[in-house]
Chain A
Amino acid sequence: MTVSILAPEIILSLAGIVVLLLSTISSKIKNLLFFISTTAAGAALYFLPFPTRTAGHLEISHTTKFFSILTIIALIITLLGSIEYTSKINSPPGEYIAILLWATVGILLFLKARDFILLFVALELFSICLYILVGYNTDSPLSIEGALKYFLMGAFASAFLSLGIAFIYGETSFTRFQQISHALARNGNMNAELIYIATVLILSVLFFKLAAAPFHSWSPDTYQGGVTPFIAFLSTAPKAAVLLVLIKFLPVILSLPNVTEYYRRIIELVAILSIVIGNVLAFQQLDIKRMLAYSGIAHVGYMLIPLVTLDLKSYAAPVAVYSLAYIIMNSAAFILVDYIFQNDNKPHLIEELAGIGYKYPLAAFSLTVLLISLTGLPPTLGFIGKYFVFLYALANGLLHLAIIGIVFSLVGAGYYLRVIYFLYMKQDDHQLSQKGNPFSLLVSSICALFVIVLGIYPSLVTDWIVMNIR
């Protein structure tokens, strides 16, 4: 075990410190700061450790590597999309970038952690960074209010997580996943009720971080109020990371004898509730960020469908495909919302999109592609993600979940296509004419292109995913 395993985390932490120090020198070097941080993100991508079979408190596998790549992609999209934003608000850009980099460090550690102490510390590292960044626009009461709600609920949830960890540690006297699952399988003189309570506590906190249905109430408020380009990060990277940890945590609790049916029912219930509540409530939203928040809840429901099988060998691959699609399309959609509206202190009403298709042709076209992909229509990556998930559900006898998923995808088409209708069908009747951040447009058009190319040639990535992700 060498330092090179942690190379991406070290690079990003150091880049954060450098950016923070440089930003105190002059306030006119914003572009340099963004250049440094994007380069550091690229370097972190390059130095991702080669998958080995370390089974200590860190796991370095193809799966963690894939999800680390997704996290860093979300970071790069967010950084490029925030360049203009930081000059519009009253707070310095250096801190924004540094905290964003440190949040990424937390997520990367969280992905690798196979020990409850490291897991908890990494989770809090990124959560606290996320609280700060949601409320970074201190001029806007909406931003602070969203951040405060997220913070209070998040801190409440992490108290429950720590209680669950304490119970598991107390009953098994271990903190590493591997040792815990051995201890649970041996089933010595443990208090089994406490273990059940602990696993349910930990699962509900993970569902809370995913914004899955009974635990979703923070996400619409936080997304609507929060700093828009940063929501591109918040709505994607932590969710994918928590899904991976869920994938790695389920085998641990399934080492308990005779519990499969209970956990299957819990996950099934959460998945169905997320799909139904997310899609139904997204329908009546007037604010596009709030609508995307509810649609994000629904997407988490789709991503949980493969986990319902509890087939530990194969359920990760469809989740990975869907996460790839979700990260690219959702983060780019939020960046475009920021590009089109440009003013974060007002609500982002869907009606105000009227005529944007004629004013910003490229931005509107990219947004259209991304919304079609979020709906799950071919030929886009979103369709490939849903195809993998539903095919996997059918292959494992979850017909009812596949039907619920497909029916509510059709419901979802209603509210996504309504936005496209506003973009193109209404004539221009007002003005929103300042020039936006060219990098936002660049990065989101590239994402839209990606979504289409991978939608037409999915085997470019899905072959690798199906081979390597466990």
Chain B
Amino acid sequence: MSVVGFSHYFFLGLILFSIGALGALTRRNGITIFLSIELMLNSVNLILVSYASTNGNLAGQILVFFMFAIAAAEAAVGLAFFIAIYKHRRTINIDRLTFLRW
């Protein structure tokens, strides 16, 4: 078994991204969907960091810090929406949010 290198991190990142994307598409609970999206964002962070170390410049690492902040802001906004929708509907199952249909 060789040393853990770039491609291991890269493919781990891609696998995590795919798991996140599948989760976001198949789950029905709003918060689980949101968790899957966070997983996607963080797997991109892993890919960015592994690229930054092979490219030998810091731009990727800087972008990772911004992505942490953005993911946190998104979490704050998203959880507030879930609380607000729960107050109205007593559920966060997205299949039951059907007021807006044609």
Contacts and interface: CB of A to CB of B under 8 A. Distances in A.
B88 to A, nearest CB: 4
Nearest to B92: A148
Interface residues of A, number: 43
B53 to A, nearest CB: 11
Interface of B is mostly: helix
Interface stretch (A124-132, A317-325, A407-415, A441-449): A124-132
A225 B97 contact: no
B64 to A, nearest CB: 10
Contact of A173 (B57, B77, B85, B88): B57
A169 B48 contact: yes
A145 B97 contact: yes
Interface in B4-32: 17, 20-21, 24, 30
A165 interface: yes
Interface of chain A: mostly helix, strand, loop or mixed: helix
Interface string B17-60: 10011001000001001100100110010011001001111011
A151 B81 contact: yes
Interface of A: 116-117, 120-121, 124, 128, 131-132, 135, 138, 141-142, 144-149, 151-152, 155-156, 158-160, 162-163, 165-167, 169-170, 173-175, 220-221, 224-225, 284-286, 290
B63 A155 contact: no
A128 B54 CA distance: 32
B55 A155 contact: no
B78 A117 contact: no
A144 B77 contact: no
Contacts of A170: 47-48, 51, 54-55, 60
B66 A163 contact: no
Nearest to B49: A166
A453 B88 CA distance: 47
A145 B78 contact: no
